[in-house]
A = this chain, B = another copy of it.
């Protein structure tokens, strides 16, 4: 399939890319089943077009940390506390994805039995896209939710210190014929990666994205990278910045404080000192606890279509609903190949070579 690749991106087959990532992780000591979950989550991000959270992270976020002894390849994932409808896991400084899949599975099981449930994981590491775990609920006719705290990049309203991560929330709600509603968003206006992209392109940032070290608004990518991201809603309160700030802090409380993990100033500002500092949060409830699930899903189709069919603003020919673009990306990439940036592609090839794994992803 490489012949259809652009100069910047090459196309991998989903199954082969997943197998490669699994093999790489196994080679550095991760159990097969766990490695497979991580591969699934990373490739799901690439399929959905969220390449910042995909296989591009394999080396720097996971493999190099395992090799450097900062992340346990074979952790002891453990249930710390449990009630009928809640569960708390300790990830033992292992990979965030397998323990999160475990936790969300338990939340789903409990919600199926009792109607609803919540879960949390502490002493964990990056778990990939929040939406993956929320979406696990869909096939069971449940509503799914997830959140995670992350390393600190963002400032609170009226502040200048980096106090908050991009702290995303994800919600997944099934529909009938329409793709599911999947809202997965960072509570900062933009992710840090966007500042880096603008820096590379030599473009000024937009107002409301970031401040410099002194706390003043800036559109200079370099100054912003030394400064802090702004919460969703931007600088101050006039555009609702305090709402994004509140949501970011909510994620930190739901994940870090509820779980008894690290939170606030306990979270690192740079990625290489993280060691189990991250926590996650999950919830689900049964649709048929409220109404017939088929009727609900038919109504979801109506709801989604109503927005998609509403009048367009000038210059726009389409109105999207949450998760729609990512769903279409997934269908396209499943059929035509998963785009992997040439630099990431080369990195994977090099890593596979070092570990003695055949590089065959096309």
Residues A320 and B114 in contact, CB atoms below 8 Å apart: no
Q: How far is the CA of A115 from the CA of B116 in the complex (A)?
A: 9
Residues A158 and B320 in contact, CB atoms below 8 Å apart: yes
A264 interface hit (Cβ, 8 Å): yes
| Secondary structure dominating the interface of A | mixed
Residues A159 and B83 in contact, CB atoms below 8 Å apart: no
Closest chain-B Cβ to A218's Cβ sits at a distance in Å of 12
Residues B239 and A118 in contact, CB atoms below 8 Å apart: no
Contact digits for A300-334, partner B, Cβ 8 Å, 1 yes 0 no: 10110011001111101011111000000000000
In the complex, chain B residues whose CB is within 8 Å of the CB of A238: 206
Q: How far is the CA of A239 from the CA of B219 in the complex (A)?
A: 13
Residues A114 and B83 in contact, CB atoms below 8 Å apart: yes
Residues A189 and B249 in contact, CB atoms below 8 Å apart: no
Can you list 21 contacts pairing A with B, beta carbon distance less than 8 Å?
A81-B289, A84-B84, A86-B290, A88-B289, A159-B311, A159-B312, A181-B249, A183-B243, A183-B250, A185-B243, A215-B312, A215-B313, A233-B233, A246-B322, A249-B303, A253-B303, A257-B300, A259-B290, A260-B296, A263-B299, A263-B303
In the complex, chain B residues whose CB is within 8 Å of the CB of A253: 173, 181, 300, 303
One complex includes copies of this chain to the number of 2
Q: How far is the CA of A234 from the CA of B313 in the complex (A)?
A: 14
Shortest beta-carbon contacts, A-B, top 3: A215-B313, A83-B115, A86-B289
A160 interface hit (Cβ, 8 Å): yes
In chain A, positions 60-85 with a C-beta closer than 8 Å to chain B are 81, 83-85
In the complex, chain B residues whose CB is within 8 Å of the CB of A285: 86, 118, 283
A247 interface hit (Cβ, 8 Å): yes
List 15 additional contacts besides A81-B291, A183-B243, A249-B307; criterion CB under 8 Å.
Answer: A83-B286, A86-B290, A120-B290, A157-B319, A158-B320, A185-B242, A185-B243, A216-B313, A239-B239, A253-B300, A253-B303, A257-B299, A258-B287, A260-B299, A263-B303
Given A181-B249, A239-B206, A299-B257, verify A115-B264 contact (CB < 8 Å). no
Residues B264 and A295 in contact, CB atoms below 8 Å apart: no
Closest chain-B Cβ to A276's Cβ sits at a distance in Å of 17
Q: How far is the CA of A12 from the CA of B302 in the complex (A)?
A: 47
Closest chain-B Cβ to A253's Cβ sits at a distance in Å of 6
Given A117-B115, A185-B240, A303-B257, verify A314-B216 contact (CB < 8 Å). yes
Q: How far is the CA of A215 from the CA of B242 in the complex (A)?
A: 26
In chain A, positions 199-252 with a C-beta closer than 8 Å to chain B are 206, 208-209, 211, 214-216, 232-234, 238-240, 242-247, 249-250, 252
Residues A85 and B116 in contact, CB atoms below 8 Å apart: yes
